[in-house]
Amino acid sequence: MHRTILTTVGTSLLTNVDRPWAGWRHKQPLPAADHVETWLQQADPVKASAETHTWYRLGLFDADDKDKVEVVLIHSQTEDGRFCAERLVSMAKHKGLKARPRQVDGLDYSDGQKFNRGLRQLARVVGEEIKRGQAAGTVELAATGGFKAEIAIANLVGAVSDTPVHYIYEQFTSLITIEPIPVTLRADWIGSGAGRKLLEAFESANDVVPLSDIESLLKQDERLLSLVEIDEGHAALNLLGEIAVRLIATPHESWPTPTDLSPNDKKRLDSAAHHRPRGWEQIVDTIANSRYVTLIRYEGSATGGCLKEAPDNDSDLIHRIEGSPALTLRISTTATTSGQRRLVQQVLRKELKV
Please report whether residue 133 resides in a domain.
Answer: yes
pLDDT of residue 185: 44
Same domain, 66 and 115: yes
Residues 204-254: tens digit of each pLDDT: 666 788 899 889 999 888 888 888 888 888 888 887 788 787 777 665 556
Same domain, 48 and 168: yes
Same domain, 170 and 195: no
Same domain, 142 and 27: yes
Residues 310-342: tens digit of each pLDDT: 888 889 999 988 877 888 899 999 999 887 888
Please tell me what DSSP assigns to residue 258: P
Same domain, 87 and 113: yes
In the chain, the number of structural domains is 3
To the nearest whole percent, how much of the chain has pLDDT over 90? 32
Same domain, 93 and 15: yes
Please report whether residue 159 resides in a domain.
Answer: yes
Residue 129's closest CA among 74, 199, 55, 59?
74
Please report whether residue 213 resides in a domain.
Answer: yes
Same domain, 163 and 291: no
Please report whether residue 318 resides in a domain.
Answer: yes
- Among residues 122, 155, 178, the one where a domain terminates is 178
Please report whether residue 183 resides in a domain.
Answer: no
Whether the pLDDT of residue 31 is over 80: the answer is yes
Same domain, 158 and 219: no
Element (H, E) at 345: helix 338-352
Please report whether residue 197 resides in a domain.
Answer: yes
C-alpha span between 187 and 115 (Å, rounded): 27
Same domain, 170 and 105: yes
CATH at 72: 3.40.50.10770
User: 7-16, 53-62, 317-326: lowest mean pLDDT where?
Assistant: 317-326
Alpha-carbon distances of 207 from 200, 228, 234, rounded to whole Å = 12, 11, 10
Please report whether residue 254 resides in a domain.
Answer: no
User: Do 23 and 33 touch, CB atoms closer than 8 A?
Assistant: no
Quote the pTM value.
Answer: 0.62
Which structural domain range is residue 126 located in?
2-178
| Residue 196 pLDDT class (50, 70, 90 cuts) | confident
**For residues 341, 241, 105 and 26, what is the CA-based torsion angle, rounded to 10 degrees?**
-90
Same domain, 19 and 166: yes
- Among residues 249, 276, 302, the one where a domain terminates is 249
pLDDT of residue 151: 82
Same domain, 34 and 77: yes
- Among residues 178, 203, 229, the one where a domain terminates is 178
Please report whether residue 258 resides in a domain.
Answer: no
Same domain, 213 and 85: no
